[in-house]
Amino acid sequence: MPRPGEFELIARHFAPIAGPGGLDLLDDAGLLRPGRGYELVVTADALVAGVHFFPDDPPDAIGWKALAVNLSDLAAKGARPEGFVLTLALPHGWTEAWLAGFVAGLGRMAEEARCPLIGGDTVSTAGPLTLSITAFGTVPAGRMVRRAGARPGDVVLVSGSIGDGALGLKAHGPDKPGWVASLALEQRAFLADRYLHPQPRHALAEALQRHASAAMDVSDGLVGDLAKLLKASGVGAEIDLDSVPLSPAARAALMADPALAELAWTGGDDYEILCTASEREYPALIAAAEGSMLPLTPIGRVTAEAGVVTYREQGRLRSFAQGSFSHF
């Protein structure tokens, strides 16, 4: 059976997951109508096979992750997802079975987040599979949570657990280090799933709007992303690494190899929320997070000395050779 052409491919695979703003994917553009008093928040991420995911990863996981990493950015800005556009460059050997799996994962993430497809482009490439998503969200006017709002005295908090994504990459990848074998099967599966299926923290968006002074998602590593937030705000911080929340599976990995702590704190792929809130607001932020079943954990304080971050582990100063993942 011959593969479909571009327009048949769009009609067969992508039109079913498109929202009303996609205009049945028959036009040159999509249409969004922000409500009165709302502003658009826009984010984009590109993923390349062999860089952001293994080429033989399950296609549904690739589709899920492609949208999830964008929605994580919207959540950190306090934005409600409204729609996304997809640019997909398929390598010459693509199959319909692969594409159907990809769209299934993409569609499940879109449905869960109520963020429908509204347009995009599909092309062929001689290079690796490459895709880019631009996602759109809305916030009440003037309420987007920026990186640049942290102030001295604010509490630094992080959602969920840190390190699972970076450890999951090792547990899932083809060249598994020795410590992976020491984990129980369910622990390996948990870490691998955290890498393959990141969970954008949409449920925290409104609480961040109301109570956070600054926020971003943890995509390139807690240490490096905190440095970005502090630089944007012109402040420093004191961080208690013993307070950084770890999952039971991550704790088991660190017990097997204590040197993994640096990977957990700097490796990235967590897609948790890193935020700051004033002394007055942070209890309400924690309470709102608990109501959403997403814990927020205080891990330190913002200080006045711009760019200076002090990390302590078991009372001793700790430094890092590399703060985060970098493409360059």
73 known ligand binder? yes
219 known ligand binder? yes
52 known ligand binder? yes
134 DSSP 8-state letter = E
Structure pTM?
0.91
Q: Which domains does the chain have, with CATH numbers?
A: 6-140 (3.30.1330.10), 147-318 (3.90.650.10)
310 known ligand binder? no
137 known ligand binder? no
175 known ligand binder? no
50 known ligand binder? no
211 known ligand binder? no
pLDDT at 328: 37
Say if CB 174 and CB 56 are below 8 A apart: no
**If we measure between CA atoms, which residue out of 75, 52, 37 comes closest to residue 165?**
52
Distance of alpha carbon 177 from alpha carbon 250, whole angstroms:
14
pLDDT at 326: 53
60 known ligand binder? no
pLDDT at 325: 53
Question: Own/partner pairs for 29-35, CB < 8 Å, 24+ apart?
Answer: 29/119, 30/83, 30/85, 30/118, 30/119, 31/118, 32/82, 32/83, 32/118, 32/136, 34/82, 34/138, 35/138
Distance of alpha carbon 133 from alpha carbon 81, whole angstroms:
13
164 known ligand binder? no
**Averaged pLDDT, groups of 10, the chain, 328 residues long:** 68 77 74 90 93 91 96 97 95 90 96 94 90 96 96 98 96 92 97 96 95 96 96 97 97 96 93 97 95 92 95 90 54
209, two tokens: 């709007």
Say if CB 272 and CB 200 are below 8 A apart: no
Say if CB 137 and CB 83 are below 8 A apart: no
72 known ligand binder? no
pLDDT at 24: 77
Distance of alpha carbon 225 from alpha carbon 236, whole angstroms:
13
